[in-house]
Structure 1
């Protein structure tokens, strides 16, 4: 996929490995010699790798429990000054009630901490990753059926909306593929996802207003669904004129 798409910067979520286990040399051999890897044992973990030079800026603990769910970098060569925030928002468990499901409460608190952070942003920023929220009615295969399903509940949508408003983010997925067009990035393994189009738009690329007008295109690499043992997510690719 990297050879075909020839992306300059690759952001990965849920790498499920510690930093010393990350395939750093394999990616370097493909040209991705600049790497910021925030891993941990078990699940979670994020990594940003690039052909373009960058410096790592920060690793925010928006989960407030030490989980590796974010890494931020700033490009220093071509596109210098652009900040890329790579985030993996918690899924939130199965029950949309923080009183009986602590994971759901942790997800809402994560979004609240992200919102406070976004209010102070002053630089051109791209935030990308698995948000684990499908905000629009057309971002899921059946809006009414999923209103009580974690990832599309009103309380999650409202929380993500507050984050959006905190920095007036531009949702590039919907700028280039306007609602109500189909725009799914994830299909559940539980629902025979390779045969049924029961998708949700959980993965996002949002740009700050001063960056958004440089965006030239955005696409979904849906052919990866046909790979052997594919991910339940597909890649998103956005191109910028910088």
Structure 2
């Protein structure tokens, strides 16, 4: 596995948080997920797209697992693995979201947060809807899927509008409780031009549409959440976290950065290094995503 590692000043220990869309935990295990987990051993691992029922999630040696598989067979599902059992776990299937508009998504296995027992930190794992194109950009014959009149795009935008309110509420609740807050996961949005290899044509693709990028910009800021990967990496291309299964995208490193770690300012200041565990060859991939791992200094 190739490790793309980017260090910040004073990288002197601390703890690691990984975000990994496994694109099916059973398939990822067959490809070597267990070996990756044992070798890297992050203190916290947020997983997206379990894509299985609760009985098939399985165990994770050395970790306590909190998860929400959702109610759609073979779709979605999020988890957070921790070395120490968390003091609290909140998922939408047990504790429905408060923000109006999220009810239709509450049983889909898209959001889970835990309060760590060994650090004053709340970690949330999010799998945001992929969405689709608005009706005016849908052209029959040039799409992999059948045109839907913009229905999937509209659904994603409803989620974004409602989730922004829920996210703000959860962030503030964590801070009031004396905890930092960290949102990690597959947001299915690339924010800036540096986040997409071929960004010009991507402007008319789902995940890089102007309205999606504007939403992403609205949830981050110096007093809200910080994009810690961009802060460490600087104003330059990458680091990429997703490559299509098709063609030679992986081999040629033509991809997107849609996996993120967004931290409250106090935690963001303690971000020391980031790495993307990209496999050395296409036939050794664990998923169409690669694990995104950030090291944070202790408080």
- The answer, yes or no, to whether TM exceeds 0.5 is yes
Residues 185-214 of structure 1: CA deviation (Å, up to 9, x unaligned):
001123432333220001000101122122
Alignment counterpart, residue 31 of structure 1, candidates 50, 62, 70: 62
Q: CA RMSD in A?
A: 2.1
- In 2: Cα distance, 1:166 partner to 1:119 partner: 14
Change in 2 beyond 3 A, CA 1:166/1:181 = closer
Which residue of the partner structure matches residue 154 of structure 1? 210
- Structure 1: gaps spanning 5 or more residues: none
Note if contact 2:222-2:265 (Cα within 8 Å) is conserved in structure 1: no
Q: Does 1:68 align with 2:109?
A: yes
The aligned length equals 234
Q: 1:206 to 1:92 in 2, by over 3 A?
A: same
Q: Report which structure shows greater RCO (CA 8 Å, sep ≥6).
A: 2
User: Of 112, 117, 122, which aligns to 1:83?
Assistant: 122
Q: Aligned residue for 2:76? A: 44
How far 1:138 sits from its partner (Å)? Answer: 1.2
Aligned partner of 1:170 in structure 2 is 226
- The question of whether the paired residues in 2 share the 8 Å contact of 1:111 and 1:163 is answered with no
| Structure 2 counterparts to residues 90-169 of structure 1, below 5 A | 90-93=129-132, 95-97=133-135, 100-120=149-169, 121-122=171-172, 123=175, 124-165=180-221, 168-169=224-225
| CA apart distance, 1:224 | 6.3
Aligned to 1:195: 251
Q: What is the rounded CA distance, in whole Å, between the counterparts of 1:175 and 1:35 in structure 2?
A: 29
State whether structure 2 residue 296 is matched by structure 1 residue 240.
yes
Return the alpha-carbon distance in structure 1 between the equivalents of residues 290 and 88 of structure 2.
26
Residues 229 and 223 from structure 1, CA distance in 2 versus in 1: closer, same or farther, beyond 3 angstroms?
Answer: closer
Gaps of 5+ in 2: 1-35, 137-147
SS at match of 1:161: helix
Larger radius of gyration: 2
Matched residue of 2:87: which SS? Answer: strand
> Contact 2:66/2:89 (CA < 8 Å) preserved in 1?
no
Provide the rounded CA distance (Å) in 2 between the counterparts of 1:108 and 1:166: 24
Q: Which residue of 2 aligns with 1:22?
A: 57
CA positional deviation for 1:226: 4.4
C-alpha deviation, 1:228, in angstroms? 3.0
* Aligned residue among 2, 5, 9 for 2:44: 9
- Distance, in Å, in 1 between the alignment partners of 2:84 and 2:272 is 19
State TM-score, norm by structure 2: 0.73
Residue 139 of structure 1 deviates from its aligned partner by 0.6
Contact map agreement 2:111 2:127 (CA 8 A) in 1: yes
* Pairing partner for 2:238 from 182, 198, 203: 182
C-alpha offsets along residues 132-173 of structure 1, whole Å, 9 cap, x if unaligned?
000101110111111100011111101111222496211011
